[in-house]
A and B are shown apart, each in its own frame.
Chain A
């Protein structure tokens, strides 16, 4: 009896500071729940699940259970540095009271990196992707796009969606690392991750890569046409893996790339279609109910159809009304381009335009900018061709107009 009482309570006395810290991290997350539509208990991938469960054990003062879990995790993933840190803390807490997560005598920036990773992973656990919601950017996928990638840099998460009849359905998600200096890339070497609508342009095989990039790399289309227009530069933004001795990297550590654990990258690689899979990168994903998509999608497809019909009508003024005053065609002034369009249209007896494989994305952070891509079958009395085209549409007042168009 005595023994039992003493042991029960004696255990509770130990190392209260560590649980308090984890509790504080979790409390912070809960308050961030406000803007999030749904909360579910969620299953993450094995290493992350075990780590998060260990952190929750710590919060609930089950320190031995936490240590067992972390040990089991490290037996499988010895390179999971955050898990090593948690293990260190759990052991250190037995030796002396410790003031915070990461009680190691080490450079503060490295410790903070790992603390941030703990925070990010706990966040991921407490904030699962809301059911029946989709990122508002995925307005329409074309049938060839079997998957879509949406990165939430603020949540250190890459979400993978499956295309079900043009509508995205959540499949899975992965913890990721982004640029050391955050997001909104502007310049070469600014160590920031770009925000925007991109796609995977190629694949670099493991054996052609420096080991630093781990199990592979998928370059994406930064800078895109909108970036170029904004004067953004730089290159070599990839989705890639981690070095062999590193399970994961801190939330902000790359030179601008999006970094996944190798096993996650391998998993993702099975689904990526080169030149096809869209990669939307946002600071903070806005989730909307799947149905809420319909209205904007309808408006944009109506405008696209109106543009196509106007073109077929050979009425240059009607056709040009679909273009913004800020429209920029390659290497020509707006006036020259207008003149050319009028001349060409006037010379035609007939024009037929057919659009297919149309995808529509809303630009992250810009509710007034949409990216529409399609295959265009053009034929006329003296010319016919088939091209892949991309247009950037901007909303001016209540009207969507084309700001840029070019070959995709």
Chain B
């Protein structure tokens, strides 16, 4: 099997590199590791699981904190059917290396084998969350699948019998993707720690083998809002203004009022895919001009003021148009120009 879920495949392939680099760094100072560890790994490949376990255990008596050996032990235990022991090994690894997706994934495998799908799901979701970019890509792919699914449903159930069906469906994809892509593109900013974080970490060879990740690592998945001011005095008015702006923006969108809608975007607005502003506006006008009912609602907005002229508002956005409904968390990066708050960038938050 394993053919099912290409998202998982992608995630695994990417993160394996990170894992090896990290672990390589953690055990980098050791020179004796190779024999027993490699021997154990080889034995496992040959299906000699018990012997492999012995080797890895021998290795672990000398390097009890070695993450890679512990991971291998978990795999061997899994293959030996010692599910509880394997769960223990992987659980400890997730506690010590919460940024690594593999142990979560294997925990999910083990929970699923026990029929505990809720736990399995939680573990997988955590694995995906270990890297914000995975999460965004995962979400994006999920949305693409959902959109394709809704196209198939339209055909199955004849939900859309108008002759504009084909065009509309294509447009629906456009509607879903740009906002998400914006988030995907927004993430790899140079000032934001990302996939590379655990990899770049091992510049500290003197770090004890298998020690807990340093603060840099645990900071990796932190949201971008980290450095934003929590609440400055006299912000109440500004917060209020932002919330009002948010309402007006969703109203313009829902009313298919393209002029009003576009007036909420700052001159230096970063278009979702980096396309020219003119093209983006034209596309948006086309979308909003469609004679159909769009309904956009923003609920539970949280406003953070970065400084006097910058703010981030995060909210639940529910969008429905025709048969497409989507709900997600969105953030707008706002700039104050005169007395108006305008959108500089749209982000899908994690």
Q: Point out residues on A near B: beta carbons under 8 Å.
A: 1-16, 61-65, 78, 81-85, 87-92, 94-97, 102-107, 110-111, 114
Q: Nearest Cβ in chain A — how far from B304, in angstroms?
A: 29
CB pair B3–A9 under 8 Å, yes or no, is no
Complex CA distance for A104 and B147, rounded to whole angstroms: 11
Partner of A10, one of B2, B158, B325: B2
Complex CA distance for A7 and B109, rounded to whole angstroms: 9
Partner of A95, one of B75, B143, B151: B143
CB pair A7–B152 under 8 Å, yes or no, is no
CB pair B157–A11 under 8 Å, yes or no, is no
Contacts of A104 in B (CB 8 A): 149-150, 153, 156-157, 159
CB pair B1–A61 under 8 Å, yes or no, is yes
Contacts of A14 in B (CB 8 A): 4-5, 8
CB pair A81–B156 under 8 Å, yes or no, is yes
CB pair B109–A81 under 8 Å, yes or no, is no
Contacts of A94 in B (CB 8 A): 5, 7, 141-142, 145
CB pair A105–B156 under 8 Å, yes or no, is no
Complex CA distance for A404 and B44, rounded to whole angstroms: 83
Partner of B149, one of A9, A64, A91, A114: A91
Complex CA distance for A83 and B157, rounded to whole angstroms: 11
Contact with A along B305-331 (1 / 0, CB 8 A): 000000000000000000101000000
Contacts of A82 in B (CB 8 A): 156
Known contacts A10-B5, A64-B3, A105-B325; A91/B45 CB under 8 A: no
Q: Nearest Cβ in chain B — how far from A207, in angstroms?
A: 25
Complex CA distance for A102 and B149, rounded to whole angstroms: 10
Q: Nearest Cβ in chain A — how far from B186, in angstroms?
A: 22
CB pair B16–A3 under 8 Å, yes or no, is yes
List the A residue with the shortest CB-CB distance to B109: A9
Contacts of B142 in A (CB 8 A): 94-96
Known contacts A1-B41, A95-B142; A8/B156 CB under 8 A: no
Contacts of B44 in A (CB 8 A): 1
**Which residues of chain B from 278 to 327 have any CB-CB distance to chain A below 8 Å in the complex?**
323, 325
CB pair B152–A106 under 8 Å, yes or no, is no
**Which residues of chain B from 106 to 152 have any CB-CB distance to chain A below 8 Å in the complex?**
106, 108-109, 112-113, 117, 120-121, 124, 141-143, 145-146, 148-152
Does chain A have a CB within 8 A of B9?
yes
Contact with A along B1-26 (1 / 0, CB 8 A): 11111011100110010000000000
Beyond contacts A62-B3, A95-B149: 6 other A-B pairs, Cβ-Cβ < 8 A, are A6-B102, A62-B4, A81-B155, A81-B157, A88-B148, A91-B148
Contacts of B102 in A (CB 8 A): 2, 6
Complex CA distance for A9 and B142, rounded to whole angstroms: 20
CB pair B1–A111 under 8 Å, yes or no, is no
Known contacts A11-B2, A64-B3; A111/B157 CB under 8 A: yes
CB pair A88–B3 under 8 Å, yes or no, is no
Partner of B117, one of A1, A16, A106: A16
Contacts of B269 in A (CB 8 A): none
Most buried by A among B2, B8, B41, B142: B2
CB pair A87–B12 under 8 Å, yes or no, is no
Contacts of A15 in B (CB 8 A): 4
Contacts of A8 in B (CB 8 A): 1-2, 109
CB pair A10–B8 under 8 Å, yes or no, is yes
Complex CA distance for A97 and B12, rounded to whole angstroms: 21
CB pair A7–B325 under 8 Å, yes or no, is no
CB pair A106–B157 under 8 Å, yes or no, is yes
Most buried by B among A2, A7, A10, A92: A10
Complex CA distance for A95 and B145, rounded to whole angstroms: 6
Q: Point out residues on B near A: beta carbons under 8 Å.
A: 1-5, 7-9, 12-13, 16, 41, 44-45, 71, 75, 78-79, 102, 105-106, 108-109, 112-113, 117, 120-121, 124, 141-143, 145-146, 148-153, 155-159, 323, 325
Contacts of A63 in B (CB 8 A): 3-4
Known contacts A91-B146, A104-B156; A5/B106 CB under 8 A: yes
Task: Identify the 6 closest CB pairs spanning chains A and B, nearest first.
Answer: A9-B109, A88-B152, A104-B153, A85-B156, A7-B2, A84-B156
CB pair B1–A12 under 8 Å, yes or no, is yes
Contacts of A103 in B (CB 8 A): 149
Is the contact region of chain A dominated by helix, strand, or loop, or is it mixed?
helix
Complex CA distance for A24 and B301, rounded to whole angstroms: 43
Complex CA distance for A2 and B121, rounded to whole angstroms: 19
CB pair A92–B75 under 8 Å, yes or no, is no
Complex CA distance for A103 and B78, rounded to whole angstroms: 34
Contacts of A3 in B (CB 8 A): 12-13, 16
Provide a sorted-by-A list of 5 A–B residue pairs whose CB atoms are within 8 angstroms.
Answer: A1-B44, A8-B109, A61-B4, A63-B3, A88-B152
Contacts of A110 in B (CB 8 A): 157-158
Contacts of A102 in B (CB 8 A): 156
Partner of B153, one of A1, A4, A88, A96: A88
Contacts of A89 in B (CB 8 A): 149
Most buried by B among A84, A95, A103, A107: A95
Q: Nearest Cβ in chain A — how far from B145, in angstroms?
A: 4
Complex CA distance for A88 and B4, rounded to whole angstroms: 15
Complex CA distance for A335 and B71, rounded to whole angstroms: 98
Q: Nearest Cβ in chain B — how far from A1, in angstroms?
A: 6
Complex CA distance for A185 and B3, rounded to whole angstroms: 50
CB pair A13–B157 under 8 Å, yes or no, is no
CB pair B146–A13 under 8 Å, yes or no, is no
Contacts of A91 in B (CB 8 A): 145-146, 148-149, 152
Contacts of B156 in A (CB 8 A): 81-85, 87-88, 102, 104, 114
CB pair B157–A85 under 8 Å, yes or no, is yes
Contacts of B153 in A (CB 8 A): 84-85, 88, 104-106
Complex CA distance for A98 and B8, rounded to whole angstroms: 18
Complex CA distance for A90 and B142, rounded to whole angstroms: 12
Known contacts A81-B156, A84-B156; A12/B112 CB under 8 A: yes
Complex CA distance for A111 and B158, rounded to whole angstroms: 11
CB pair A13–B149 under 8 Å, yes or no, is no
Q: Nearest Cβ in chain A — how far from B58, in angstroms?
A: 19
CB pair B121–A13 under 8 Å, yes or no, is yes
Known contacts A6-B106, A91-B149; A84/B155 CB under 8 A: yes
Partner of A13, one of B13, B45, B117: B117
CB pair B2–A95 under 8 Å, yes or no, is no
CB pair A13–B143 under 8 Å, yes or no, is no
CB pair B150–A88 under 8 Å, yes or no, is yes
Complex CA distance for A107 and B75, rounded to whole angstroms: 47
Contacts of A11 in B (CB 8 A): 1-5, 8
Complex CA distance for A329 and B123, rounded to whole angstroms: 80
